[in-house]
Amino acid sequence: MSTPAGIDPRGPRFAATITSVLLLAATFLALTGMSTATSYGWFSPGSGFVVGEGSAVAAASPLQRAQDPGFLLTTLIALLFLWSVVSPRTAPWGVLFRRVVRPRLAPPTELEDPRPPRFAQGVGLVVVGAGLVLHLLGVPWALPIATAAAFIAAFLNAAFSFCLGCQIYLLLQRTGLFGRRASAA
């Protein structure tokens, strides 16, 4: 299998910068929303006022959980991750980089394999997707933990050009789980 054409390594870093900002906002919203709130008593339409301490997210209906601002922003982020995995050429941050940012920069000194950054987008999708599903199931703290974990990975890429998902891809490639087989050396 031949290696796909290379991409400008500044593109994924640009996307990681925007994604970091979105994930930071999603983490804030998740921390201040129902995911971490404690409910000391709530009104249940079917059974009246229920007294007791519990998690607000566990007490909420799935529809109420889906309307939480942190959930809504994280859903948007998950859709952006999905878009980047399914069609990286048309993903918004890549298009913005290629049309607006890259023409203003010097040509890249080297190109990189697009497979590791694409895999990293898939890892981000899995992490925030797990947080979304667990939030819908009423698991407290699932959403802010997932968005914070994804934020850390995106921030490492944006600030230090260290792509955690790319490193996982390369590790899996070296072990021969996918991609080119590990060399016999």
**Cβ neighbours of 45 (radius 10 Å):** 6
Average pLDDT over residues 6-20: 96
Burial of residue 31 (CB within 10 Å: 0-12, 13-18, 19+) is: middle
Query: Which one, of 6, 3, 2, 20, lies nearest residue 107 by Cα?
Result: 6
Band of residue 101 on the pLDDT scale cut at 50, 70, 90 = very high
pTM for this prediction: 0.86
Average pLDDT over residues 84-111: 96
Q: Provide the mean pLDDT of the chain.
A: 89
Q: Is 7 helix (H, G, I), strand (E, B) or coil?
A: strand
pLDDT of residue 139: 94
Domain definitions of the chain by residue range: 10-174
pLDDT of residue 62: 94
The whole-angstrom separation of Cα 50 and Cα 67 is 22
How is 18-73 classified by DSSP, letter by letter? HHHHHHHHHHHHHHHSTTTPEEEEEEETTTEEEEEEEEHHHHS-HHHHHTSHHHHH
pLDDT of residue 37: 86
pLDDT digits (tens, 9 = 90+) for 124-181: 999 999 999 999 999 999 999 999 999 999 999 999 999 999 999 999 999 998 766 5
Which residue type is seen at 27? T
